[in-house]
A and B are shown apart, each in its own frame.
Chain A
């Protein structure tokens, strides 16, 4: 347990929370995404292109990466989230993400399957902590605002929400744009941490990992995401399992056990009527 190792783990964790916060907003509005890694990838590629090809400074490219995520979130909202619900929406977002990955794999501009190299390494813990603090403050404000109440109303009952004058389609779309911005930020931070990105790392398994954080922690408040992301990042190391396959096997068992004993997540209430993603 060296301090370099702890710093590494903390960096992993704080990038993970940023991208998972983006999914939290989508879940808050009662929608589920199995393609969130595509938003993560949009932010990563946008920021990489802007710093490497357009030579913009990192601190300018970072929010623009978030905007790229927000734009893709808007596209997802317009294409699929307007008409589909529940498991159908989840599977449609997954398909959209996979289609985008295939396009990226075939794009020479983005480096194809070999990846996009030489991204300047600018992400450090200070930036990450600032971004996390800003997002947590934003989420805290959103949850207490009219927007938060509207998101929850849409999640609980769309018809009733429409009856009291909430524009359901607008709120559902807004959740994707805000969530896309946050997850896109996470992607930009990731790109400037690893230096090389390739399309396959933004695939189904990453989307599942993003989705599991709020489900494990409990999706009702953003604290659930913070706890869930911590469980996913730290638990395997606490159990001193370092071999990657064993660690993933442990994840698998953990997901099953949490769903059996706490179907609403670790922070969620016990009642069996609603699941974590409502």
Chain B
């Protein structure tokens, strides 16, 4: 029973992270109808930004997170300007060129770091809280769940209440309508990439904290899980991404705890195949876009 609770909480943190990744894909898909395959690399580079400050310069964790996020945001900006914009929204060309950008970024980091997995710093000493029923939960796990859920809710508020968030939603409905309303569509597209990359950087850092390590391919691994959530939930569906992200994280965690850790990825990929068989447009795939 206590193992069940512990795995559940692990899964909740991982799942919220998957949801954040899927939301970032949704944001970009909403404004431009393309998938950004370099999003994973952005997540990874955020974690190395943190390492750069903490290990390379001996800086504090808070500064490191800010730098990590800035590097991720800058990477998103450069990807949009150099790799996506010149292709004029051609979905397949963007897929190939963002895969190219991801290969470039990953191998740049591998070259600079000798491709070793790195220990990811902890912001504070771990303390364990005992829950009734005998389960032990670390303060880090509590923090991860709170921050991830906070980010998810913050994202919803951002889309509902801010000018940029509203502009993103308008363009997701119709770029022409956006132009009629006087929105600078090109600028909003760039900013959407930046916002999505900031989210990605945060997701990468949260994952680094959860597992205590990072490596050059962590981004593509997480990015593919984000794709699974995106497709299962139905592209463009924010609420679906939240639900499916959490469900996938929890299901994986339970599979690790009760079947075996080597079956972890099978939950996601096998599950995706099943969903595509019976609901090709995703579980929540209505025609309505929530973004």
Contacts and interface: CB of A to CB of B under 8 A. Distances in A.
11 contacts: A88-B280, A102-B262, A106-B263, A245-B115, A254-B100, A255-B96, A256-B100, A256-B101, A259-B96, A263-B93, A276-B92
A105 B262 contact: yes
Interface residues of B, number: 45
Contact of B272 (A95, A243, A251, A272): A95
B224 A256 contact: no
A246 B112 CA distance: 11
Report which residue of B100, B266, B280 has the largest number of chain A beta carbons within 10 angstroms of its beta carbon: B100
A1 interface: no
Q: Lowest 10 A-B CB distances belong to which pairs?
A: A255-B100, A252-B104, A252-B103, A99-B269, A259-B97, A98-B269, A95-B272, A102-B266, A245-B111, A275-B92
Interface stretch (B46-54, B83-91, B116-124): B83-91
Interface in B182-207: none
A208 B99 contact: yes
- Interface footprint category on A: 35 or more
Given A98-B224, A102-B265, 9 more contacts: A87-B91, A88-B276, A90-B95, A246-B111, A256-B104, A258-B96, A259-B94, A272-B90, A275-B93
A215 interface: yes
A99 B92 contact: no
A251 B280 contact: no
Interface stretch (A54-62, A77-85, A173-181, A187-195): A77-85
B209 interface: no
Given A246-B111, A249-B107, A260-B86, A215 B96 contact: yes
Nearest to A244: B107
Contacts, number: 125
A20 B223 CA distance: 26
A228 to B, nearest CB: 11
Interface of A: 32, 79-80, 83-84, 86-88, 90-92, 94-96, 98-99, 102-103, 105-106, 204, 208, 212, 215, 243, 245-246, 248-249, 251-256, 258-260, 263, 272, 275-277
Contact of A249 (B87, B90, B103, B265): B103
A88 B282 CA distance: 10
A98 B270 CA distance: 8
B277 interface: yes
A87 B224 contact: no
B172 interface: no
A251 B100 contact: yes
B256 to A, nearest CB: 13
Contacts of A90: 95
A87 B95 contact: yes
A258 to B, nearest CB: 8
A276 B97 CA distance: 13
Contacts of A246: 107, 111
Contact of A256 (B82, B106, B108, B266): B82
B241 interface: no
B90 to A, nearest CB: 5
Contacts of A253: 100, 104
A79 B273 CA distance: 8
Given A80-B276, A215-B96, A255-B99, A99 B86 contact: no
B21 to A, nearest CB: 14
B43 interface: no
Contacts of A258: 96
A32 B280 CA distance: 16
A254 B96 CA distance: 10
B231 interface: yes
A118 B193 CA distance: 49
A216 B206 CA distance: 37
Nearest to B91: A87
A260 B87 CA distance: 6
B102 A252 contact: yes
Contact of A272 (B88, B106, B108): B88
